[in-house]
């Protein structure tokens, strides 16, 4: 490494040209395909990915199942528009508001990408009701806007009378309306919402419109991510520059770490894009991670250079000294940081893998650029410009407040070592209490700050409606009897219905087909042919048998069975009682509602009729509506699989997890007919799955990188004892941070999970520098007491400068409007500051207490 | 489409093609007649395959009986008796098509032991879950639309129809390709207010039955949902001698076996 630095100091200009060229090539490779995708189709353009679904890989079984079921039940991602009016006594159920809602629905239908036939709004859904004695009526709920407020109320009453609409389209208090706008793809939601907003802006009156739904949230991420990268990253850069300027008093000199940081960021992001990776919410944080890390090594070099220059008064000699002193710790800190991040590649979450891997790459690149460009830059500066540079050694100890403070701290760690260790134990105890209180939970909508319009809409709608978070529960039977059994049953049935002559026909077909449906169809055809010649009396018997054969095949349509539908009804009642579900919608509701309306709307007829035929009749009646296809959201046309749509008021993974357990419990306590088993899908469920993977994956990644770093430390110090010592500050820090998270009640979510691994690699840096320099210096001094005073000189100052620069360098993340960025900003800063403090207190205290053990004769 | 044109070409020789251009109203009346009023009465067995956008298929099979009250192409009655699916067997749908007011429609649900009248409010709802509407089965009154002849070529009169009451229907206009020789609409396309084709009917097969050119296979496609329904007619007979009394509530519960066999 010293060799590379040496080469760099001999050919400084070449190194700058090469680095500059590299950055330009990277920019070109990204810009060309992004700006002119057609001409550069062989290159990967810059692509943004805002879909939390991508937290799971595309081939993940849960995700494959989710997408297959979505297709099977014709379900799409939905934009939810809520309309509220607090000034009118009837809420939005007045002439004016409903006219606007009508106009908005008509407008939305025509926006490209909106699935108009599945749009749910008062004007696009059907009302079924008795239309006088013996009459049943199907009509659009609100074909035309109401002529007056009384008519508006009538529309409300009708909608509230229909269980599928109440709480979904009309709020429980009967004052608000929600529109559900299905779209072909999530990535068009931003555009759709913009068009809706323009339309809404043209409405008069006091209605308030709230727009939410996961697709909207996701699309907004994309915009916020760019804002974050365009504002937070440059802000971090500016802050770091100002801090370094303050420390080293020489603007022209501190430009070099800035160049290192820029080139590292550009190269890393360039590599990310040109290797075909998309920029996800995780990878959008790469620049802001690399920026402070990239300057870490440069600060050590400059810090040392700043302190040593007055001794040599010669750039080249000083650099040589500095690089000799620092090259080993710098290499090791780089490797440990890289390992910490690279360990994220072990998690099963693709965006986290990409993030971890590329930050690791960036860290190594930053190291490479630091040890070449920073020395080269110093050489390129004229010697005269260093005339008054550096710490004045004659008066070192009193020179700066920082130096004085650190000197004092050094003495305290020596005299109060036992007290420090005692405090550490107390703190660990407190942290332990906190760690046990940690609650694992996440919710992508809560990634926005509480005052963001999406969160506002989310609250407004979930207060009034059954819930904007969707989960789907699929029910499926255990399957049918074997084909031979089926055929035997068929033959037996024909015999018992006085048609033994058909049995040989069945047997003849058996050689041709092994398909139930085909067999029955062939049999029916044969029977129909024979029937043509029989007498009227015989015909009736044949006709009955024919019906039986059809029904025999129809048994596989288990979701027409009253027993099954009643079971579903009980499950729904149970779901409602859990308090976790705002509302559930199922095939059972459809059957019950139609049944009630066929019987004059009597309350007591809101039930599942007693026979399969009666159920089939209610279902076919339902299909006489304007939207027969709505049925296929709840059941497959073969009636073998059913889908229950659950509306949840909370999108917290914690609540969804609790619901999953409750449903398992129900199936355990209430054995289902037809061997029915259940399965989940929907985004709310997907989120739980990737969170579980994240938590367990993170634990593995953390343990993995902990062990690797420990091995590296043992190798670096050629001693297990010293290796363990190096791990203590970061272990303490991470323990404390998680303790604090538990104590303040912050959920253990996606960003928090990522923090543990990445902080490990960063926090150990301070220990490496501290211990390496301590051991080095101990050789020159007789005991720890004197060594300590020296270690709390330049090495401690370098560490402190680093703590301050990096700790503050991440602060601009707080300016971001997305909560995960803020969380990362706050905690990474806290971790680094705490790790710095832990390093400068716990380590010297431990060394003081175990001096004899650590500095054996042979080790020195 | 090719086959059907061949059939129609053969039929063209059997009818004398009127030499002079016809008035659009006459074309529409004639098309209405050959589509819904052939003979005094008629019966057919209809097999309906409802296919959704995912290719999933459901089958309905029913016997349809029709009787004209007189020969004015006015009032007529339909009796639709379901055989399949087996679980709705014996279900009956009956229509009395009125000229002066909305049609009277009944539904008999044997499993629920229920006879229901269906309110006349809207006839453009799905016919038992298919892509055909009730109105497609019993016919749309020719006076409900304004008709314009937009084109006339060797084979077709192309008529554009615009509803007089646009609020009552889901389309803005429809266009019919009426075969010149037989007056059978071979294709009908429905458009929304942006001119997008939302539904289309196609006659897939025409046969000569009892002296009448008869559509024996037809499809209705829904371009919005991507599904379609295929109808196949068999055992078509005209002038069967259906008595008027079977088109009554009494016969809903006791199906007239004689005419349904």
Q: Which residues of A18-39 are buried (b: 16+ CB within 10 A; e: fewer)?
A: ebeebbeebeebbbebeeeeee
Measured between CA atoms, how close is A211 to chain B, in angstroms?
25
Tell me which chain B residues have a C-beta less than 8 angstroms from the C-beta of A532.
Answer: 261
pLDDT value of residue B8: 62
Least CB–CB distance from B117: residue in A134, A143, A637 = A134
B248 located within any domain: no
Test B118 with A137 for CB contact under 8 angstroms.
Answer: yes
Residue A79 and residue A183 in contact, taking contact as beta carbons nearer than 8 Å: yes
Nearest CB to A554: which of B85, B114, B122? B85
Q: How many CA atoms lie within 13 A of B159 on its CB side?
A: 29
Which of A339, A362, A394 is where one domain is finished?
A394
User: Chain centroid to CA A267: how far?
Assistant: 26
Residue B55 placed within a domain: yes
Q: Could you tell me if residue B96 is inside a domain?
A: no
Residue A623's closest chain B neighbor by CA?
Answer: B129
Whether A469 maps to a domain, the answer reads no
Mean pLDDT of chain B: 89
Inspect the interface and report whether the beta carbons of B167 and A143 lie closer than 8 Å: yes
For residue A114, the 8-state DSSP code is: B
Tell whether A699 and A806 lie within a shared domain.
Answer: yes
- Show the tokens assigned to A424: 């550490």
Residues A413 and A381 in one domain: no
Closest residue in B to A598 (Cα) is B116
Smallest CA–CA distance, residue A340 to chain B, in Å, is 48
Q: Which two tokens stand for residue A161?
A: 């009378």
Instruction: List chain A residues with CB under 8 Å of B88.
Output: 613, 616-617, 620
Do A728 and A828 share a domain, yes or no?
yes
The chain A residue lying nearest B259, using CA atoms, is A536
C-alpha distances in angstroms, B11 versus B39, B41, B183? 18, 22, 11
Domain count, chain A: 3
- For residue B100, the distance in angstroms to the closest alpha carbon of chain A comes to 20
* Binary contact (B124, A140; C-beta < 8 A): no
Q: Which residues pair with B77 in a beta bridge?
A: B67, B96
Check CB contact under 8 Å for A553 and B86.
yes
Q: Which of B104, B94, B97 is nearest to B250 (CA)?
A: B94
Do A717 and A834 share a domain, yes or no? yes
- For residues A641 and A474, the answer to whether their CB atoms sit within 8 Å is yes
Specify burial of residue B3 (Cβ count, 10 A radius: 0-12, 13-18, 19+).
exposed
Which residues in A lie closer than 8 A to residue B133 (C-beta atoms)? Answer: none
Verify whether the Cβ–Cβ distance A617 to B112 is below 8 Å: yes
Residue with tokens 């050689």: A511
Query: Would you call A620 and B88 a contact, using CB atoms and an 8 Å cutoff?
Result: yes
Q: Which of A135, A525, A529 to mutate to test binding with chain B, by most B CBs within 10 Å of its CB?
A: A135
Q: Is residue A775 one of the residues assigned to a domain?
A: yes
A426 lies in the same domain as A533: no
What the block records as the tokens of A65 is: 């199942």
End-to-end CA distance of chain A: 25
Chain B interface, Cβ < 8 Å to A: 52-54, 56-58, 84-89, 91, 107, 109-112, 114-119, 121-122, 124-129, 134, 167, 194, 224-225, 227, 257, 261
Both structure tokens of A403: 């130096």
Same domain, A375 and A416: no
Candidates B129, B134, B194, B237, partner chain A, best to mutate (most A CBs within 10 A): B129
pLDDT in the model for residue B21: 63
On chain B, the residues whose CB falls within 8 A of the CB of A73 are: none
Asked if residue A488 and residue A380 are part of one domain, the reply reads no
SS3 A451: coil
Peptide bond into B55 cis (omega under 30): no
Q: What is the ipTM of this complex?
A: 0.92
Report the residue from A126, A136, A560 with minimal CB separation from B116: A136
Across the interface, whether the CB atoms of B91 and A617 are under 8 A apart is answered yes
Residue B254, in any domain of the structure: no
Residues of A in contact with B121 (CB under 8 A): 131, 137-139
Cα–Cα dist B66/B33, whole Å: 13
For residues B52 and B70, the answer to whether their CB atoms sit within 8 Å is no
Q: Give rounded-to-5 percent helix, strand, coil for chain A.
A: 70, 10, 25
**B91 to chain A: nearest residue by CA?**
A617
CA distance B23 to chain A (A): 35
| CATH number for position A24 | 1.20.1640.10
Number of Cα atoms under 13 Å in the Cβ half of residue A110: 10
Residues in A closer than 8 angstroms to B254, CB to CB, are: none
State whether A412 and A384 are in the same domain: no
- Chain A hits for B126, CB-CB cut-off 8 Å, are 623-626, 628
Residue of A nearest to B110 (CA): A614
- Is the CB of residue A45 less than 8 Å from the CB of residue A34? yes
User: Could you give the 3-state DSSP secondary structure of residue A643?
Assistant: strand
CB contact under 8 A, A547 and B89: yes
Do A414 and A383 fall within a single domain? Answer: no
Residue B136 lies inside a defined structural domain of this protein: yes
Whole-angstrom distance, CA of residue A296 vs CA of residue A186: 40
Phi-psi region of A513 (alpha: psi -120 to 50; beta: other; left: phi over 0): beta
**Nearest beta carbon to residue A624 from set B111, B121, B128:** B128
**Does residue A762 contact residue A337 with C-beta atoms inside 8 Å?**
yes
Residue B205 inside a domain? The answer is yes
Examine the domain organization and report whether A693 and A842 are in the same domain: yes
The alpha-carbon gap from B74 to the nearest alpha carbon of chain A, in Å, equals: 25
Say which of B52, B89, B125 has its CB closest to residue A625: B125
CB atoms within 10 A of CB A843: 22
Task: Tell me which of A339, A365, A394 is where a domain ends.
Answer: A394
Measured CA to CA, the distance from residue B44 to residue B137 in angstroms comes to 13
pLDDT < 50: residue spans in chain A: 394-397, 858-860
| CB neighbours of residue A407 within 10 Å | 17
Q: What is the pLDDT of residues A193-215, one digit of tens each?
A: 999 999 999 999 899 999 987 77
Distance, CA of A562 to CA of A547 (rounded, Å): 19
DSSP for B184-237, written as a single string:
-EEEEEEE-TTS-EEEEEEEEEEEEETTEEEEEEEEEEETTTTEEEEEEEEEEE
| Structural domain includes residue A52 | no
Interface test with A, best of B47, B58, B85, B87 (most A CBs within 10 A): B87
Question: How many Cβ pairs within 8 Å bridge chains A and B?
Answer: 131
Contact A624 B129 (CB under 8 A): yes
- The set of residues, in sequence order, having a beta carbon less than 8 Å from that of A138 and lying 6+ positions away, is A126, A127, A128, A624, A625, A626, B118, B119, B121, B122, B125
Nearest CA in chain B to A630: B129
Contact B128 A623 (CB under 8 A): yes
Confirm if A389 and A306 have CB atoms less than 8 A apart: yes
Domain hosting A352: range is 1-46+250-394
Residue with token string 């809520």: A82
Contact across the interface for B121 and A137, Cβ inside 8 Å: yes
Is residue A432 one of the residues assigned to a domain?
yes
Residues of A in contact with B54 (CB under 8 A): 71-72, 74
B151 Cα to chain A: minimum distance (Å): 30
Pairing of strands A126-130, A135-140: antiparallel
Inter-chain CB proximity A110 and B58 less than 8 Å? no
Q: Is the peptide bond before B37 cis (omega within 30 degrees of 0)?
A: no
Using CA atoms, how far apart are residues A37 and B214, in angstroms rounded to an integer? Answer: 56
Please judge whether B125 and A632 are an interchain contact, meaning their C-beta atoms are less than 8 angstroms apart.
no
Is residue B159 a part of any domain in this protein?
Answer: yes
Q: How far is A433 from chain B (nearest CA, A)?
A: 55
> Which of A131, A547, A626 is opposite residue B86, by nearest beta carbon?
A547
Of the candidates A14, A16, A24, A18, which has an alpha carbon nearest to the alpha carbon of residue A266?
Answer: A24
Domains held by chain B: number: 1
Tell me which residue range forms the domain holding B215: 2-63+123-242
Give the residue with greater pLDDT, A241 vs B162: B162
Best mutation target, B57, B90, B107, B111, to test chain A (most A CBs within 10 A):
B111
Strand order in the sheet with A208-212: A177-183, A77-84, A208-212
| E strand or H helix that includes residue A851 | helix A851-854
Closest CB from A549, A554, A637 relative to B87? A554
CB atoms closer than 10 angstroms to residue B14: 11
Say which residues have a Cβ less than 8 Å from residue B64's Cβ, sequence separation at least 6. Answer: B43, B44, B45, B46, B78, B79, B80, B81, B137
Residue in A closest to B54 by C-alpha: A72
* Contact check, Cβ <8 Å, A547/B224: no
pLDDT level of residue B121 (50, 70, 90 thresholds): low
Domain end point (choices A511, A530, A554): A554
Round to whole Å and give the CA distance between A620 and A679: 27
CATH number at residue B25: 2.50.20.10
Å from B150 to nearest chain A CA? 27
Contacts with B91 from chain A: Cβ below 8 Å: 617, 620
Residue A687 shares a structural domain with residue A806: yes
Chain A residues touching residue B86 (CB < 8 angstroms):
546-551, 553-554
A721 and A743: one domain? yes
Distances, alpha carbon B8 to alpha carbons A758, B5, B185, B201, B208, in Å = 77, 5, 12, 17, 10
């Amino acid at each position: 490494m010293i060799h590379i630095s040496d080469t760099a100091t001999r050919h400084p200009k070449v190194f700058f040209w090469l680095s500059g060229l590299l950055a330009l090539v990277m920019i070109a490779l990204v810009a060309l395909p992004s700006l002119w995708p057609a001409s550069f189709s062989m290159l990967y353009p810059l692509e943004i990915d805002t879909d939390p679904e991508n937290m799971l890989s595309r081939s993940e079984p849960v995700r494959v199942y989710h997408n297959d079921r979505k297709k099977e039940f014709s379900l799409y991602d939905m934009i939810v528009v809520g309309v509220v009016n607090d000034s009118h006594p009837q809420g939005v159920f007045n002439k004016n508001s409903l006219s606007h809602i009508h106009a908005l629905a008509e407008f939305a239908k025509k926006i490209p990408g909106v699935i108009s036939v599945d749009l749910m709004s008062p004007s696009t859904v059907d009302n079924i009701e008795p239309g006088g004695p013996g009459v049943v009526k199907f009509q659009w709920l609100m074909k035309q806007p109401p002529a007056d407020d009384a008519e508006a109320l009538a529309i409300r009453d009708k909608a509230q009378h229909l269980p599928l609409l109440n709480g979904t389209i009309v709020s429980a208090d009967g004052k608000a309306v929600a529109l559900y706008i299905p779209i072909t793809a999530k990535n068009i939601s931003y555009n759709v919402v913009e068009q809706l907003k323009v339309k809404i802006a043209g409405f008069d009156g006091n209605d308030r419109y709230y727009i939410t739904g996961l697709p909207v949230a996701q699309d907004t991420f994309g915009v916020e991510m760019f804002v974050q990268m365009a504002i937070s990253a440059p802000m971090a850069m500016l802050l770091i520059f100002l801090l370094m300027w303050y420390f080293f008093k020489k603007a022209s000199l501190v430009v070099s770490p800035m160049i290192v940081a820029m080139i590292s960021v550009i190269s890393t992001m360039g590599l990310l894009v040109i290797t075909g990776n998309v920029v996800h919410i995780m990878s959008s944080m790469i620049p802001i991670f690399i920026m402070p890390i990239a300057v870490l090594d440069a600060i050590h070099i400059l810090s040392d250079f700043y302190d040593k220059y007055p001794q040599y008064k010669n750039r080249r000699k000083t650099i040589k000294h500095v690089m000799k002193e620092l090259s080993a710790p710098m290499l090791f800190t780089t490797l440990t940081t890289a390992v910490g991040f690279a360990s994220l590649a072990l998690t099963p979450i693709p965006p986290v893998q990409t993030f971890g891997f590329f930050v690791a790459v960036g860290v190594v690149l930053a190291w490479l650029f630091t040890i070449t460009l920073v020395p080269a830059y110093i050489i390129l500066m004229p010697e005269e410009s260093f005339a008054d540079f550096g710490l004045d050694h004659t008066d070192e100890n009193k020179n700066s407040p920082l130096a004085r403070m650190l000197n004092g701290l050094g003495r305290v760690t020596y005299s109060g070592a036992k007290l420090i260790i005692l405090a550490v134990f107390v703190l660990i105890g407190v942290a332990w209490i906190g760690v046990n209180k940690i609650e694992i939970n996440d919710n992508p909508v809560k990634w926005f700050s509480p005052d963001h319009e999406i969160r506002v809409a989310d609250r407004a709608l979930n207060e009034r409606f059954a819930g904007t978070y969707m989960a789907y529960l699929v029910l499926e039977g255990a399957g049918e009897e074997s084909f031979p059994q089926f055929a035997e049953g068929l033959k037996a049935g024909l015999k018992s219905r006085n048609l033994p002559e058909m049995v040989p026909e069945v047997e003849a077909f058996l050689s041709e087909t092994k398909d139930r449906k085909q067999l029955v169809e062939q049999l029916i055809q044969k029977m129909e042919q024979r029937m043509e010649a029989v007498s009227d009396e015989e015909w009736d018997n044949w006709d009955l048998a024919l019906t039986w054969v059809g029904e025999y095949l129809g048994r596989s349509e288990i979701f027409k069975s009253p027993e099954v539908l009643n079971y579903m009804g009980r499950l729904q009642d149970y779901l409602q009682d859990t308090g976790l579900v705002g509302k559930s919608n199922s095939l059972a509701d459809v059957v019950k509602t139609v049944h009630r309306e066929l019987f004059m709307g009597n309350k007591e007829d809101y039930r599942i009729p007693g026979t399969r035929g009666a159920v089939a009749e209610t279902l076919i009646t339902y299909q006489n509506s304007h939207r027969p296809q709505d049925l296929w959201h709840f059941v497959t046309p073969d009636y073998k699989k059913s889908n229950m749509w659950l509306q949840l008021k909370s999108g917290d993974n914690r609540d969804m997890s609790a619901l999953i357990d409750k449903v398992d419990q129900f199936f355990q306590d209430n054995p289902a007919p037809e061997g029915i088993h259940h399965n989940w899908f929907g985004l709310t469920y997907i989120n739980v799955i990737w969170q579980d993977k994240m938590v367990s994956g993170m634990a593995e990644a953390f343990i993995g990188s902990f062990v690797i770093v420990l091995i590296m430390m043992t190798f670096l110090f050629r001693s297990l004892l010293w290796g363990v010592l190096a791990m203590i500050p970061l272990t303490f820090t991470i323990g404390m941070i998680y303790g604090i998270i538990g104590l303040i009640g912050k959920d253990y979510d996606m960003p928090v999970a990522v923090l543990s691994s990445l902080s490990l690699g960063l926090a150990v840096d301070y220990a490496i520098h501290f211990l390496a320099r301590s051991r080095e210096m101990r050789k020159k001094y007789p005991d720890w007491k004197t060594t300590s005073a020296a270690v709390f000189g330049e090495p401690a100052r370098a560490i402190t400068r680093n703590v301050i620069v990096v700790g503050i360098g991440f602060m601009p993340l707080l300016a971001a409007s997305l909560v995960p960025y803020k969380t990362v900003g706050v905690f990474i800063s806290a971790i680094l500051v705490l790790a710095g403090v832990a390093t400068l207190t716990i380590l010297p205290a431990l060394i003081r207490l175990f001096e004899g053990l650590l500095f054996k004769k042979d080790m020195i | 489409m090719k086959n059907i044109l061949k059939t129609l070409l053969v039929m063209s020789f059997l009818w004398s093609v009127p030499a002079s251009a016809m008035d659009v109203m006459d074309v529409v009346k004639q098309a209405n007649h050959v589509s819904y009023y052939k003979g005094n009465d008629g019966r057919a067995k209809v097999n309906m395959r409802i296919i959704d956008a995912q290719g999933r298929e459901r089958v309905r099979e029913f016997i349809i009986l029709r009787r004209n009250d007189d020969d004015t192409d006015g009032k007529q009655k339909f009796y639709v008796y379901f055989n399949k699916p087996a679980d709705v067997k014996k279900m009956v749908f009956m229509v009395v098509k009125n000229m002066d007011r909305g049609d009277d429609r009944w539904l008999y649900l044997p499993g629920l032991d229920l006879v229901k009248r269906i309110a006349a409010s809207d006839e453009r709802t799905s016919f038992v879950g298919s892509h055909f509407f009730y109105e497609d089965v019993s016919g749309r009154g020719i006076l409900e639309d304004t008709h314009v002849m937009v084109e006339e070529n060797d084979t077709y009169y192309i008529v554009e129809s615009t509803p007089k009451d646009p609020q009552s229907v889901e389309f803005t206009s429809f266009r019919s390709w009426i075969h010149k020789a037989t007056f059978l609409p071979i294709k009908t396309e429905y458009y929304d207010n942006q001119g997008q084709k939302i539904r289309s009917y196609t006659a897939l097969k025409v046969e000569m039955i009892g002296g009448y050119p008869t559509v024996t296979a037809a499809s209705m496609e829904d371009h919005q949902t991507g599904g379609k329904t295929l109808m196949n007619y068999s055992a078509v007979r005209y002038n069967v001698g259906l008595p008027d009394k079977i088109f009554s509530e009494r016969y809903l519960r006791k199906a007239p076996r004689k005419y349904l066999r």
